[in-house]
Amino acid sequence: MKKFVLLIIGALLMVFVIPVKAQESSNDGYNPNSVYPVHEDNIMFKKRVWRRMDLREKQNLPFFSDGNEITKHIIESATAGIIPIYKDDSLQNRKTKEEFLEDLENPQLQDLNAGGGDDAWGSSGDSGWGNDDGWGDTGGEEEEEEDTSGGEVDTKFTNRQVSMLEIVEDMIFDNQRSVLVWDIQAIKLVIPAENFTSGIEKVIGVFKYKDLVDLFRSNPEQMIWFNPQNSAEHKNLADAFALRLFSARIVKVANPSDNMIIDIYDESAREGIMASQWIEYELMEKEHELWSY
């Protein structure tokens, strides 16, 4: 009798408890960092791609309109603690606001402040011609106003100097809907190498794209993609990315050695650019071939 009762209880557990647990764990198949997640069972093909977006390019200028730069919105929101900052595109290791502000410091301007603001003549108040202005005029009765600011300047990089974005995204073919999805995961803020005497670019922060979409949607009046053809048709930055209105060159595709394209094709910069374009065409061809299955 006891064995029969145990069998009945076991059967009830199989019928009710296990389906409930399966239903609870069904969401585990979705990427939590995706804005429009695709279940892993529906992913027929997936490729991680890194793109470099120069905001100074003509096609990208609507993201970088004067006084309304996308970098300005991201930097101000990160500094205010509205969006979290990450150290790398794994989106696991957080960066503190203090570390972010430190990375924004311009070493050349820091050296200028450390030097006391002296000019090339060795003195902040000497024109190089003695006490006059170089034309025999000692200033008469006019007296120079005393500089109460201490000669200090803002030592941080400006919003327009942070002119590069690196987009980390997954190329996914959803076999349930038979569509190709470019699923952006993260966006990096990059200061180009030309701003450093070392000639090495600097990543100052990585941001989860899902957080940025929420940020862009929260302030549709200011966070816009500027439409130069029709001022009545400005778009939200989130929509501009969804419509892929940007121009961004592929700089890396997932590979075992985690090499950049320029590291693989290192014969010349021209060779690297040609390889990037060739990989772009390969991905387009891959999309075309997927439709034949």
Alpha-carbon distance 50 to 258, whole Å? 11
Is residue 121 domain-resident? no
Give a yes or no: residue 271 inside a domain: yes
In a domain, 135, yes or no: no
Q: How many domains does the chain have?
A: 1
17 within a domain of the structure (yes/no)? no
Would you state the structure tokens that stand for residue 240, as one six-digit string? 């501009």
Tell me the per-residue pLDDT of 133-152, one tens digit each, with 9 for 90 and over. Answer: 554 555 544 444 444 445 56
Q: Cα–Cα distance between 41 and 175 in angstroms, integer?
A: 9
Q: Within a domain: residue 142?
A: no
Helix (H) or strand (E) holding 273: helix 269-290
Residue 26 lies in a domain: no
Is residue 73 pLDDT above 60, yes or no? yes
Categorize the per-residue pLDDT at 34 as very low, low, confident or very high, splitting at 50, 70 and 90. very high
Q: What would the pLDDT profile of 250-285 be if each residue is shown by its tens digit?
A: 999 999 999 998 888 766 677 878 888 899 998 888
| Beta bridge partner(s), residue 31 | none
Mean pLDDT (whole number) for 282-292: 80
Question: What's the rounded mean pLDDT across residues 111-128?
Answer: 51
Q: Looking at residue 120, what is its pLDDT?
A: 43
pLDDT bracket for residue 30 (50, 70, 90): very high
Determine contact, residues 52/251, Cβ cutoff 8 Å.
Answer: yes
| Structure-model confidence comparison of residues 223 and 293, the more confident one | 223
More confident site: 142 or 236: 236
The three-point CA angle 268-64-165 to 5° equals: 45
Number of H-type helices and E-type strands within the chain: 9, 9
| pLDDT of residue 129 exceeding 70 | no
Residue 52 domain-assigned (yes or no):
yes
Confidence of residue 112 (pLDDT cuts 50, 70, 90): low
Judged against a pLDDT cut of 80, whether residue 292 lies above it is answered with no
On whether residue 235 sits in a domain, the answer given is yes
User: Phi and psi for 196 in degrees, rounded to 5?
Assistant: -125, 140
Choice among 13-17, 187-191, 238-242 with the minimum mean pLDDT: 13-17
Interhelix angle for 70-79 vs 209-218, to 10°?
100
Tokens of residue 21, six digits: 């647990």
Containing domain of residue 215, as a range? 31-115+153-290
Q: Is the pLDDT of residue 228 over 50?
A: yes
